[in-house]
Amino acid sequence: MKNKISQTQTCIVAYAADNNYAIQLGVSLYSLFYSSKDIDIIAYVFSDNISLENKQRLTEIAEEFNQRIKIIEMPDLNDLAEQNLAINYRSKSAYCRLFFTQLLPSDIDKIIWLDCDTLIINSIYELYKINIDNYAIAAVIDATASFKRLHIFRCSDTYYNSGILSINLKYWRDNSVYERMLAEMRYRKGNSIDEDQSYLNCVLKGEIKTISPRFNWMHQFYKAVDDYLGYLKISGYKKCETYSSEEFANAFSKIIVIHFAGDTTSRPWTSNCTHPAMQLWMKYLSHTEWKHFQVPVSQNTCAEKYRRIQNLYNYYVLSHSLPIIRKIHVYRKHKFWIRNYNKKVNIVP
């Protein structure tokens, strides 16, 4: 018998992945169950054609820890969106978190979303127990300001990373969030700057609770601990727009979730990874059926060099240009005009 915090406490978490990310999903799931033995967990996995073999491996991980997993084949998200959803940086499964009121049972009022490229190193209950009764979601401020600048957000506005979320589904239902998302998708014709993250930040502006970076510890945050002013320079933030040096230091001492977001140097499944938690990811990998996975050698191709130049252009040129230049860039690349998101999106019948 497990020594649970509460015999009646169940934490519901959700992932979404295609078969290309089944290994990362498996490692994240293993770390979740291993680090959260104090609670009962139901893990919903939305599958975008994950193979039967990999589904079985995911199920065996849950069984090893006497936890529950429900693997659901993802419906066509374009049908739910009534638009063809654009893909720029992620897979289409990333949009899944916008449709939970349609995909999950109506009696689920709260859920934790976890990207597959995460390690949970302390109990996820710490995130689950945060009160978000008056918010649509709780999230961590994004690690860099580039997407915030492209969305023409003011300095007083906050832009969040969508990799780890606490989602208040009751609030979504009571405040027509799904319908508001659909209205924004119609306006953009399915286009987006950064997939689901753009919709969440724009449609839910002012309805998101800011939580500690300990719940979504990204690669750039190590720099914020070692050299705060250096972090501000590379991230593009002003002091008033992100966490203080003290908040980063306190979070670093009690990290809950490590998020391997960023370029290949922050991803343990690539050969040029320099992330401080790479060996920890490998340790969890060794406990799964994918333990014989060989890290592929990265090819420094012309396409990769071009991508890096594009990233530098986005981070350092567009993020510091005039708002009208950024609006024109978004329109030319993503085919919609950024508008004022200070008010709730109108629902168009």
Q: Are strands 110-114 and 68-73 parallel, antiparallel or unpaired?
A: unpaired
Higher pLDDT, 309 or 187: 187
DSSP 317: I
**DSSP bridge pairs for 13:** 43, 112
One-letter amino acid of 219: H
Task: State how far the Cα of 261 lies from the Cα of 219, in Å rounded to an integer.
Answer: 7
Task: State how far the Cα of 217 lies from the Cα of 215, in Å rounded to an integer.
Answer: 6
Domain boundaries of the chain, sorted by first residue: 10-334
H-assigned helices in the chain: 22-35, 52-64, 77-81, 100-103, 125-128, 146-150, 169-174, 177-188, 196-203, 221-226, 228-235, 245-252, 278-285, 302-312, 323-334
Q: Cβ atoms within 10 A of the Cβ of 44, count?
A: 22
Token pair belonging to 253 = 């001492």
Q: Cβ atoms within 10 A of the Cβ of 153, count?
A: 20
pLDDT at 315 over 80: no
Token pair belonging to 10 = 């169940």
Residues in CB range of 9: below 8 A, 6 or more apart: 39, 40, 125
Q: Which pLDDT score, from 0 to 100, does residue 314 have? A: 72
pLDDT at 112 over 80: yes
> 195-234 pLDDT, tens per residue?
999 999 999 999 999 999 999 999 999 999 999 999 999 9
Range from 138-142, 204-208, 326-330 carrying the lowest mean pLDDT:
326-330
> 78-111 pLDDT, tens per residue?
999 999 999 877 778 899 999 999 999 999 999 9
pLDDT at 74 over 90: yes
Task: State how far the Cα of 132 lies from the Cα of 171, in Å rounded to an integer.
Answer: 9
Task: State how far the Cα of 185 lies from the Cα of 272, in Å rounded to an integer.
Answer: 37
pTM for the structure as a whole: 0.93
Q: Which pLDDT score, from 0 to 100, does residue 104 have? A: 97
Q: What is the mean pLDDT of the chain?
A: 91
- The answer as to CATH 3.40.50.970 being correct for domain 10-334 is no
> 285-309 pLDDT, tens per residue?
999 999 999 877 665 556 556 666 7
pLDDT at 72 over 90: yes
Instruction: Please compute the mean of the pLDDT values over residues 320-346 and round it to a whole number.
Output: 84
Task: State how far the Cα of 213 lies from the Cα of 243, in Å rounded to an integer.
Answer: 8
Token pair belonging to 302 = 């012309």
Higher pLDDT, 340 or 134: 134
Q: At what angle do helices 278-285 and 22-35 cross, to 10 degrees?
A: 90
Q: Which pLDDT score, from 0 to 100, does residue 298 have? A: 61
**What is the helix (H) or strand (E) element at residue 141, kind and residue range?**
strand 137-141
